[in-house]
Amino acid sequence: MREIVWDTETTGIMPGDGHRIVEIGAVEMINRTITGRTFHTYLDPQRPMPKDAERVHGLSSDFLTGQPIFEQVIDDFLAFIGDAPLVAHNAAFDMEFLNWELKRAGMPIIPISRAIDTLEISRKANPGAKHTLDALCTRYGIDLSARTKHGALLDAELLARVYIELTGGRQIGFDLATGAAQEETEYERVSLAPRVHHASAEELAAHATFVAGLKDPLWLS
């Protein structure tokens, strides 16, 4: 099964207030395995970057000016995600921004039914716990040392590892009765020839000496 784990960075909270996407990062997974294929781009929002948002992700107006605009990268992004489910943390936020940008570009929106929300999964699995990406990485022992600020691709990569843990780890739906019919895994089954063992002449002689020295063995009683 192919899934895309993705994240965005934006200029603010609400696209209806004129805020835009400034970064998209996405990671491909097949059968809960990260394949190494990614999509990443920065975007020129064609508007100033608020200082509050810049403090979160570190992306300044100076850096973003001259980056591609959304319309220039959307075809590549849509080709990358294909028809796969879209996994995100607080998926409603990312989907709202993506669909707002798609509507601005005169393109069809993506139905929310394609979204898988790891925030909701975590809330159901661990009620009462913290559910931020940092908290989930700490809970599952995932290294956070590279995350000094939010970044779409890095956060998508971390979320992919969190998603694996939230959905049961790498081995899912284990069933002995249908083992032969399981989907292909990242490991290949290797058949080894049986090992044949023969006692040497010295070992046979030592055994005979040992048996002869036994007093009243049970098999002779």
57 located within any domain: yes
51 located within any domain: yes
Boundaries of domain holding 58: 2-170
Write out the binding residues.
7, 9, 57, 155
pTM of the entire predicted model: 0.74
Active site residues: 150
To the nearest whole number, what is the mean pLDDT of the chain? 85
The CATH code of the domain that includes 136 is 3.30.420.10
Q: What is the DSSP letter of 169?
A: S
The angle at the Cα of 92, spanning 144 to 156, to the nearest 5 degrees, equals 25
* Structural domains in the chain (count): 1
213 located within any domain: no
211 located within any domain: no
CA nearest to 19, candidates 59, 76, 66, 78? 59
Q: What tens digit of pLDDT does each residue of 129-187 get?
A: 999 999 999 999 998 887 767 889 999 999 999 999 999 875 444 333 333 333 333 33
Q: What tens digit of pLDDT does each residue of 32-76 get?
A: 999 999 999 999 999 999 999 999 999 999 999 999 999 999 999
